[in-house]
A and B are shown apart, each in its own frame.
Chain A
């Protein structure tokens, strides 16, 4: 720290604006996320991906469940839905089925997607439903006070395991691959450029896409484990992350302080739910099968 002034020593061009602003409900700012929380950083990457992919914003919908990350739906200036706990994927599935033209993005946390919503996750992946799932993984249930989540690594101190977590945790990327996802990647909030590129890629990819983003929760995870603040966690990510594209997901388990393997692990073609439905119905019904018509009140 040095200077005491907060003056900007030059003129800012009048037409300059933060590229994230057009995508946010700025009247809701400042947001509720804690200082050093990484969720906002993932939102930056998401908006850069929307910009770069030149997606038609009227055809993008964001669906979130409950939790700190669940607030993203409330802040995104897109068609967005803040659903009940764990039900982001079933809601998104309904949205996609009734309006297949939409790019449906599920933006939620690890607690929401893999605990109460875990069953929905594996079945949407199995069906290869055309959804883009972005999971901000802070390794805990943050909004409710830092309890042990299915993702909390062993030995970690949490509100419900004050003497250390002893249950095995989920390896989300391995789970997603085994369940059938077409695209699986993992990054951390330190890897902003790579994360934005992955997010852009899934906009062009058909089928069930999954990106896990490790993100600091200084308030409830790092503090209890004496791991410092948000910035310390970012430096930790920088230090221990290894980019290994195509790595075997079963070998990418997360531990409390060990190596974090990041990269794109799976990018494969599988027929998605719509193709399978169409193929089966045409085979069984022939000419009698008519594609369901999409109708909405405005068209």
Chain B
């Protein structure tokens, strides 16, 4: 089971791709779907690989994503 999870606020995303590029375990991918402003938000493709490190949250300039570890 994944150690952590990632949460995305799709409508706040501006599709910059920082989270996708810098996630160390490649959990994310930019989706081909649009949000209502016309940006492509990230999509979770390998949920089981997420460590909850929150690097995506530190990179996201739009505060649209964060990761956290599951409570033990």
Contacts and interface: CB of A to CB of B under 8 A. Distances in A.
Interface string B3-21: 0010111101011111001
Interface string A1-43: 1111110111011001111110010000111011111111101
A30 B39 CA distance: 13
B61 A39 contact: yes
A41 B44 contact: no
A123 B54 CA distance: 39
Contacts of A31: 62
A142 to B, nearest CB: 14
B17 A19 contact: no
Interface string B22-60: 100000011111010001110111010000001101111
A230 B41 CA distance: 15
Given A18-B66, A35-B15, A5 B59 contact: no
A244 interface: no
Contacts of A231: 16-18, 21
Chain B: interface size category: 35 or more
A228 B58 CA distance: 22
Nearest to A35: B14
B33 A3 contact: yes
A41 B57 contact: no
B59 A41 contact: yes
Nearest to A195: B58
Contacts of B15: 35
Given A35-B15, A196-B58, A235-B21, A12 B29 contact: no
A234 B60 CA distance: 12
Interface string A195-207: 0100000000000
A31 B22 CA distance: 22
Given A21-B63, A41-B61, A189-B59, 9 more contacts: A1-B30, A2-B29, A3-B45, A18-B7, A20-B66, A44-B59, A192-B55, A192-B59, A231-B18
Interface of A: 1-6, 8-10, 12-13, 16-21, 24, 29-31, 33-41, 43-45, 48, 189, 192-193, 196, 229-231, 234-235
